[in-house]
Amino acid sequence: MKQIQTFTSTYTADVSGVPSALYELGGMIIMHDASGCNSTYNTHDEPRWYDSKSMVYITGLTEIEAIMGDDQKLVDDIVSAAKDLKPRFIAIAGTPIPMITGCDIEANARVIEAETGIPTLGINTNGMHSYVEGAGEALLQYAKRFVKDGTKKREKSINIIGATPIDFSVNGQIESIEKFLNKNGFDVISNFALNCDVNNIENAGEASVNLVISSVGIKLAEYFKKQYKTPYVVGVPYGKKMKEMIIDTLNYKYHNVGEINDELDVIFSSDLSKNFKNENIFIIGESVTSKSLAKAIYYKYGHTPIVISGVELGNTYHGDIVKDLTVRNNVALEKQDYFLEDEDEIAKVIKSAKIVIADPLYKPIVPKDTIFVNHPHEGFSGRLFRKNIINLIDNF
């Protein structure tokens, strides 16, 4: 009963994270489910659905197929559709039903690839995790299959990693980050994978440094670090001082590529904890964007908000493709912050809060005498407050 959400919403599920990450890359993305997951995705989680084309489909799994385990129909339907649509790749994302029935998504992907000759990704989502898990896994698998050799680095070049509309909507924030990096001398090779170019993504291994702007990008950044020796920095450029720190750290990483200094990966670690004073100000949301906002507030106003993250932190792995990767726990959170998935636990922590900055759907559990600042998150309230999402890159 503890995990029942009585007053608040839930975050976008991992299965929706897969098409969100791969939407613009020319693939045929399949949700293996009866029907519900696709409608939730296209009506609540995907702001590009009505304005741009993509190939996102549902298998239409029936009760008898689930009971009898008829994977051959799944394979035959996808093979037939792929022959008609001729996608660049195929991706299959699992949902709760195939998880319960023991459907081997990765094995079916291998069979489909053998029959079609089209690269096929089997992504073991199950609806039990947040979008961070699904989108992060999808980007990682895509990069492993399609990013070319990165032994030759481009001078002062960069990838933006972890860009999805779930965290950044479609209000120009990614374009603003690109302009910010260009203005400071960095050539943006690619975005993973919002407002992106498929051809540029293939050359992402040539980047001299990566900027991770959400937990979605942590797995991929670690892969690039291991595979192509590409260092990375975690943080979103909110506010003048934060922007200066990001550029300074990126420049340091660029000029000291061979040096191992993991402490500089996450640029907001240590100083907020060292100067922390409990003022009962809280930010609730995804860890990297929320912690970046907390640091921007600290530098501009002198306050140190506590971050409560309700989504995974990019360090839960499954599948052979990532078995040899390691990511330190909590990624962005510090000792004064919280990782809480249950609304009753969040309510206890914020019961004496003076200010809470969060998605409007958190308001029912915020004390009545607390100042509540609306900060909509597409991954929590979907399209409800989409028009109220602010481009904080340009307006902080």
Which of 264, 292, 313 is the C-terminal boundary of a domain? 264
Confidence band of 331 (pLDDT split at 50, 70, 90)? low
At residue 321, the pLDDT reads 35
Residue 53 structural domain: 14-145
- Two tokens, residue 76: 């035959």
Same domain, 76 and 108: yes
Same domain, 121 and 154: no
- The whole-model pTM stands at 0.92
Which of 119, 145, 171 is the C-terminal boundary of a domain? 145
CATH number for the domain that contains residue 86: 3.40.50.1980
At residue 335, the pLDDT reads 82
Whether residue 78 contacts residue 90, with contact meaning beta carbons closer than 8 Å, is answered with yes
Confidence band of 30 (pLDDT split at 50, 70, 90)? very high
Q: What is the mean pLDDT of the chain?
A: 88
Residue 205 pLDDT > 80: yes
Same domain, 18 and 138: yes
SS3 label, residue 123: strand
Nearest to 108 by CA among 61, 52, 53: 61
In a domain, 107, yes or no: yes
The mean pLDDT of 278-300, rounded to a whole number, is 93
Lowest mean pLDDT among 201-215, 245-259, 306-320, 371-385: 306-320
First-to-last CA distance in the chain? 40
Same domain, 237 and 324: no
Same domain, 245 and 338: no
Q: What is the pLDDT of residues 156-171, one digit of tens each?
A: 999 999 999 999 999 9
Nearest to 274 by CA among 301, 243, 246, 295: 295
In a domain, 75, yes or no: yes
Q: Where are the beta strands (DSSP E) in the chain?
A: 28-31, 55-58, 90-93, 120-123, 157-161, 187-192, 209-212, 232-234, 281-284, 306-309, 338-339, 355-358, 371-374
Q: How far apart are CA 155 and CA 189, in angstroms?
A: 11
In a domain, 3, yes or no: no
Same domain, 290 and 351: yes
In a domain, 84, yes or no: yes
In a domain, 4, yes or no: no
Whether residue 158 contacts residue 189, with contact meaning beta carbons closer than 8 Å, is answered with yes
Same domain, 281 and 257: no
Same domain, 155 and 199: yes
Same domain, 254 and 181: yes
Same domain, 167 and 136: no
Residue 355 pLDDT > 90: yes
Q: What is the pLDDT of residues 123-148, one digit of tens each?
A: 999 988 899 999 999 999 999 999 99
Q: How far apart are CA 387 and CA 170, in angstroms?
A: 10
- Report how many domains make up the chain: 3
306-309: strand order across its sheet: 338-339, 306-309, 281-284, 355-358, 371-374
The mean pLDDT of 345-368, rounded to a whole number, is 96
Residue percentage of the chain with pLDDT more than 90? 66
Residue 31 pLDDT > 90: yes
In a domain, 394, yes or no: no
In a domain, 51, yes or no: yes
**Rg, C-alpha atoms of the chain:** 21
Q: How far apart are CA 122 and CA 91, in angstroms?
A: 6
Confidence band of 68 (pLDDT split at 50, 70, 90)? confident
Same domain, 228 and 249: yes
In a domain, 72, yes or no: yes
At residue 160, the pLDDT reads 98
Which of 145, 170, 192 is the C-terminal boundary of a domain? 145
Confidence band of 255 (pLDDT split at 50, 70, 90)? confident
Same domain, 280 and 195: no
Residue 313 pLDDT > 80: no
